[in-house]
Chains A and B, each alone.
Chain A
Amino acid sequence: MAVLQAQGLGVTYQAENGEVRAFRDISFSVEAGQFISIVGPSGCGKSTLLSALAGLLAPTTGQVLVMGKPAAGISPHIGYMLQRDALLEWRTIWQNVLFGLEVRGQVNDETRTRARRLLDSYGLGGFADKYPRQLSGGMRQRASLIRTLAAGPDILLLDEAFSALDYQTRLQVTEDVYAILKREGATALMVTHDIPEAISMADRVLILSARPGRLREDLPIAFPGLGRRTPLSCRSHPAFQTYFDHIWKELKRDA
């Protein structure tokens, strides 16, 4: 079933010195459990596209269908992860994890149990009473993901969610997040400017053109013969370089 659909989506916003067409006429659909990466030349409106899908921004044309229904505003089916972990420094990890539920007035025994289970299964059980500044960058990012998952979203949007981390932490967090998402059976869309990262996690890569961004290609990613796929293991698969060269060539056409 298509959990998320974009139909002829376009965003034009009014800036001080004129109209800016971020992207136009973008259509695609995402099946449950898929991981989609979105890449494009810088300034092609990738992040704006994600904001429109999240309901943070009303599209100028077209519409977004969430779970088959037209979405208006922020949908509780959607979880959003930002570039930095955006943890609240004055709250403990536990209070941070409950933040989304608290805002929605959904803190109860059931959701608390779910949040507790997520913390325990992803290695943060012992850190519930710590403050964010007492955690390492990777742990903070995991806590941020758990906060998003604790609210029980069906679709996860990641806006360059790892770009603030140093390279090693980033590889590790990518592994962690990928494992968590697969175990939770989550559907995810990730915007990134890092081509290897996009390939390593995705079932499909959407390639956008330069501004105004259009969907140039919807590239399925598969690594035949690879036993257990993880973002790190697929990097050494021969198909990886082929995908990389292809995407690189596509992106360069605009430069």
Chain B
Amino acid sequence: MHDPQASRATRPGGPAALSPARQAYLRARRRRKALVLCCQLGFLLAFFAAWELSARAGLLDSFIFSQPSRIAATLGSLAQNRLPMHLAVTLYETLTGFVLGAGLGLGVSVALWWSPFVARVAEPYLVVLNSLPKIALGPVIIIIAGAGTGAIIFMALAISLIVTVLEMLAGFRHTDPQLITMARTFGATRRQLLCKVVLPANMGTLFNSLKINIGLSLVGVIAGEFLVSKAGLGYLIVYGGQVFQLDLVMASVLILAVVAALMYQAVSLLQRAAARRFGGR
């Protein structure tokens, strides 16, 4: 429980009010945070340095494992490999799949929450679909949606949608029953229950499933690009592998890592903004 008195005492604006012990504590906390960041960056640098050095020393076969300097050169000559175009294609497919997956997932889970009967009927299908490797549907998807962007987005959607639905529905169902009863005692309709209690109470669930969806959408897009093999980072990876241009493969993987990190960061920022707006946790 938060003590309002205590928060008043430590409110900023009065630096003189901070006791030496408090100042020391805050300093120690800042130092620890900096240390963690340094170690994280240090590890990354050490990893790349070790990779580069062992490749130069001949310990690693740079033909198979590539090496940072060759990856950098590949990235430097982006235009040559039409990397920006491939990156743009993958980004477009991933974002579309991600937004569609989140939107449709939310819609379907709301519908299932609304009608427990439909939810009961749908349950075994959802469970089986969830465990089914959606990539197995790849050939079918390509035939239905055509061998192009459509099929790839479809794949990303297929992989992220069911998980979103199951996750959100579980969240809705676990909404604190006391809150539901409280709203019902005021005569709340089902719609009011949804908008005023269930949805806001599940902001955390929503953002967690968005974070999971980033990874899933990327999996779907890359798998789709492997199959369709026309454009995108997934295509570059397959192509690079086939022509033994591992620099290209590694460069693509590196870009994917950056894309995933940036998207995760974007969702985190959104979550923080929503928390400020709604005062939630």
Contacts and interface: CB of A to CB of B under 8 A. Distances in A.
B is a partner of A: yes
Contact of B182 (A73, A82, A90): A82
A83 interface: yes
B203 A56 contact: no
Contacts of B200: 88, 90
A87 B147 CA distance: 52
A38 B176 CA distance: 26
Contacts of B280: 89-90
Contact of B179 (A73, A86, A137): A86
A50 to B, nearest CB: 10
A103 B183 contact: yes
A72 to B, nearest CB: 12
A27 interface: no
Contact of A74 (B3, B185, B192): B185
Nearest to A91: B279
B184 interface: yes
Contacts of A73: 187
Contacts of B2: 133-135
Interface string A89-103: 111100000011011
Contacts of A178: none
A230 to B, nearest CB: 26
Which secondary structure characterizes the binding site on chain A?
loop
A74 B184 contact: yes
Given A90-B200, A90-B279, A137 B184 contact: no
Nearest to A84: B178
A103 B186 contact: yes
Contacts of B7: 134
A6 interface: no
B188 interface: yes
Given A86-B182, A88-B200, A103 B4 contact: no
B279 to A, nearest CB: 5
A76 interface: yes
Contacts of B279: 89-92, 131
Contact of B3 (A100, A131, A136): A136
A56 B4 contact: no
Residue with the highest number of chain A CB atoms closer than 10 Å, among B1, B176, B186, B279: B186
A80 interface: yes
Contacts of A136: 1, 3-4
Contacts of A137: 1
A189 to B, nearest CB: 14
Contacts of A82: 178, 181-182
B196 interface: yes
A130 B181 contact: no
13 contacts: A56-B181, A74-B185, A74-B186, A82-B181, A84-B178, A86-B176, A86-B181, A90-B278, A99-B196, A103-B196, A135-B4, A136-B3, A136-B4
Given A54-B185, A86-B182, A104-B187, 5 more contacts: A56-B184, A88-B196, A89-B279, A99-B183, A134-B7
- Please name the 9 residue pairs, one residue from A and one from B, whose CB atoms are nearest each other, closest first: A80-B185, A86-B182, A100-B186, A90-B280, A90-B278, A103-B186, A86-B178, A74-B187, A103-B188
